[in-house]
Structure 1
Amino acid sequence: MATVHHWTGLEAKALRHALRLGVRAYAEQLGVAVATVSKWESKLADTEPRPDTQAILDTALGRADAAAHLRFETFLSEMSGSARSADRRVTAVGPRAWEYETWTDDLDRVVVALSRQNFTFADSLLTRWLSRFRAPELDERGLYLLARSTALLGDLRRYQGAVLGPLSARHSYADARTVFTQLDIPRRVAQLDLSLAVVTEMSGKLESAARSYEVLSADDRLSRRDRARARLWVGTALSKEGNHDYATRVMRAATREFEDLTEPDDWSVAHQKLALARRGAGDLTQALQFIDIARSSGSTDSPMQRVRLDTAHGHILLSDTATLDDGLRVLDQAARTAAQYGLVHQLRSIQGIKAIGEEPTGSRRR
């Protein structure tokens, strides 16, 4: 719920709109003159209610239901932004206390939205804040939220397959890294180095990505879990380069680490990666064993993870002429899910795998 530490005419007007009251009805509810409400609404942030009226406004806001609180936050956000835009002569001011709280809550919502691949909602929440404040008007708390928002925007763009260019994941990650470096938060900087390495791998620069992962797998700035992820991704890059046996050894080490850390989702992902490495090595029996473990463990609530599991499973099935049709069926399902949730990078990958897998089918038919 929103709280106001110091009322001005701006907050008072936003509360009236949130309660859906006319000026006269609002004045009657608060026990003030209509002229007083009119003054608040004409002067906005340039006027302040008296101390006793501030307490009355606190009570009115406290009694409002959850829907009214949400409307209050929304109206106040819009009105604050409009006030800043309308008068550029006023010295820039940073977020108010309630805005910090709402911004933090919205970023938590973004994390959930991204986990469910609800990209439209995540984008709207991030745009709401990234378009409202600029770095020069923010204190350290605001800069932290700005950097975290920018990093999440990078995640959004990476999931959508935008890895290069001025509006890409790489650009967002680099911007967030600059701010976290300024704030002297080494752990966040290292996490963004890890994200940048992922983008490097996605753009096809496997050798460079593998080198970055290897360095980060021993970086004390990262948590033990993040270091294990870096080690797993070293194996991923090696496998894509054709070094399947070496990749398998590296991935097994990461898998043991996830087991020690009791991280079932990461453990499941590691088996998925192991399955693809064994497929690349031509060991389809072990590949199927690993993908079965991945499919039966960890969480499949995320559309992204369902697509990744189905893509890996389909890729393995496609490698054997006896299960080729089953593989194409699994990949078709993965493609439908990827298209439904806007997973562009995964969709391209599926299409590439299908194009290669359908070649022997065409040859048999001829």
Structure 2
Amino acid sequence: MATVHHWTGLEAKALRLALRLSVRAFAQQLGLAVATVSKWESKLAGTEPRPDTQAILDTALGRADASVHLRFETLLSEMADPLTTTRARVTAAGPRAWEYESWADDLERVVVALARQDFAFADSLLNRWLIRFKAPGLDEKGLYLFARSTALLGDLKRDQGVVLGPLSAQHSYTGARAVFTRLGIPRRVAQLDLSLAVVAEMSGKLESAALSYETLAVDERLSRRDRARARLWVGTALSKDGRHDCATRVMQAATRDFVYLAEPDDWAVAHQKLALARRGAGDLDQALHFIGIARSSGTTDSPMQRVRLDTAHGHILLSDTATRDDGLLVLGQAATVATQHGLVHQLRSIEGIRAMSEGAAGPRQR
């Protein structure tokens, strides 16, 4: 059932409409003057009933049946839209009890949307709350939801390739980390440290990223899965830095952890990264072996993962003159999917691989 922590004219009007009463009949039911109810309806969130009247409204809502509560929540959601009400007043009041549940539900929908690379829908769900509520006016529950929303916004920006700057993944992750630190939730803080290390790697700060990953790989604040992922990403940073044999050993240790944890998707990703490490070491047979495992394993078939797999496969094929044309074809397919879904960072990687391949092939073609 819905509850209201602090009544304004907005909530009072929503209750009247949910009860399907006229202004006069609503005033009579509450034992108030018609002019009082009319004032609420004209000023909405800009006016507040007296404390004794707040109690009367609590009683009226408490006595209503389930259908009235459902209509009340629906009407209030529509009426409280930040585009149609006084934003400052709604924000100051903080989320109502029913809004907490709606906010949490929307965050679950964001996770699904991000997994499908439906960035527009995820962004609209997040901004529904981040525009409406600001951290200074929230209680602990609201702050937790705000921080989770901000962290997910960081994931969205990261997947879009917006890594650095004022509206970037780094900015969002840093903001979310500050709120979780304030709330005293060390696991979330450590997860944000892991995300910030990914941002460092994506922006080319390989040594800094590797050091952060190494620290987090043994950080007890993180789950065993997150620690294994950190170990895998140590290997990724090492491989990008040209230390392919060392990277392979580190990645294989992470792969064994994913077997123990029964994480097929992470296990598949690990083999994709192993394939790239072996390509870097010049061991194309092993690279093709590992990419074959990655392509036939895992349970997630998101556009992002398809692009990553095809990019890695194409990169390996381009390393052998005999399979260069096949590599270009696979990269072309990856670029098409990346463009369709706005995967800017992956598209840049594909363009970089193509450019290197053309440079290497230049003397042979002249």
Match status 1:270 vs 2:270: yes
1:50/1:190 CA distance change after superposition, 3 Å: closer
Q: Distance in 1 between matches of 2:69 and 2:82?
A: 21
2:290 is matched with 290
1:161 aligns with 2:155: no
Aligned pairs (5 A) from 1:194-343: 194-343=194-343
- Structure-2 separation of matches of 1:365 and 1:273: 31
User: Contact 1:117 / 1:341 at 8 angstroms: preserved in 2?
Assistant: yes
Letter in 2 for 1:292: G
CA distance in 1, matches of 2:193, 2:298: 26
The alpha carbon displacement at 1:101 in A equals 1.3
| Alignment deviations for residues 27-74 of structure 1 (CA, whole Å, 9 cap, x no partner) | 37x97579697565235352456566425754444565xxx9666524
- 1:228–1:254 Cα contact (<8 Å) kept: yes
Distance change >3 Å, CA 283–CA 87, structure 1 → 2: closer
In angstroms, what is the RMSD of aligned CA positions?
2.8
Alpha-carbon deviation of 1:254? 0.1
Change in CA separation of 1:14 and 1:294 when aligned onto 2, cut-off 3 Å = farther
Distance change >3 Å, CA 63–CA 140, structure 1 → 2: closer
Q: Would you say the 8 A contact 1:27–1:37 is kept in 2?
A: no
What is the rounded CA distance, in whole Å, between the counterparts of 1:74 and 1:258 in structure 2?
A: 46
Matched, 1:27 2:21: yes
**Which one-letter code corresponds to 1:149 in the other structure?**
S
Bigger shift: 192-201 or 93-102?
A: 93-102
Structure 2 unaligned spans of 5+: 29-33
Percent identical pairs in the alignment equals 69
TM-score normalised by L of structure 2: 0.87
Change (3 A) 1:272 1:142: same
Instruction: Identify if the C-alpha distance between structure 1 residues 299 and 5 changes in structure 2 by more than 3 Å, giving closer, same or farther.
Output: same
Structure 1 segment 72-221 matched on structure 2, within 5 A:
72-78=76-82, 82-85=85-88, 92-221=92-221
Distance 2:99 2:342 in 1: 31
User: What amino acid does structure 2 have at the position aligned with 1:322?
Assistant: A
CA 318–40 in structure 1, closer or farther in 2 if over 3 Å, else same: same
Relative distance call for 1:246 and 1:257 in structure 2 (3 A) is: same
Render the CA deviation track for 1:285-326: whole Å, top value 9, x for unaligned: 111110111011113421111110110011111111111111
Report the TM-score when normalising by structure 1: 0.87
Question: Contact conserved, 1:314 with 1:330, CA < 8 A, in 2?
Answer: yes
Per the alignment, residue 31 of structure 2 pairs with: none
CA distance in structure 2 between the partners assigned to 1:233 and 1:327 by the alignment: 25
Q: Distance in 2 between matches of 1:176 and 1:184?
A: 12
Unpaired stretches in structure 1, ≥5 consecutive residues: 20-24
1:28-47 aligned at under 5 Å gives the runs 32=26, 38=38, 40-44=40-44, 46-47=48-49
- Do the aligned partners of 1:14 and 1:76 also contact (CA within 8 Å) in 2? no
- State the shift of 1:216 in Å: 0.6
- Return the alpha-carbon distance in structure 2 between the equivalents of residues 333 and 14 of structure 1: 52
Between Structure 1 and Structure 2, how many residues are aligned? 352
Change (3 A) 1:197 1:230: same
Query: What's the secondary structure of 1:78's corresponding residue?
Result: coil
**Counterpart-to-counterpart distance in 2, 1:12 and 1:365:** 77
Task: Please tell me whether the aligned partners of residues 2 and 73 of structure 2 are also in contact (alpha carbons under 8 angstroms).
Answer: no
User: Is the alpha carbon distance of 1:357 and 1:51 closer, same or farther for their aligned partners in structure 2, counting shifts above 3 Å?
Assistant: closer
Counterpart for residue 22 of structure 1: none
Q: Distance in 1 between matches of 2:165 and 2:108?
A: 27
**Residues 59-97 of structure 1: per-residue CA shift (max 9 Å, x gap):** 444565xxx966652433438x82343699xxx332111
Q: Which digits, 9 at most, give the CA deviation of each residue in 1:79-118, with x for residues without a partner?
A: 8x82343699xxx332111121111111111111111111
Cα separation, 2, equivalents of 1:128 and 1:254: 38
Amino acid at match of 2:80: L
- State how far apart, in whole Å, the 2-side matches of 1:50 and 1:140 are: 26
Kindly provide the amino acid, as one letter, of the partner of residue 86 in structure 2: A
Counterpart position of 1:54: 61
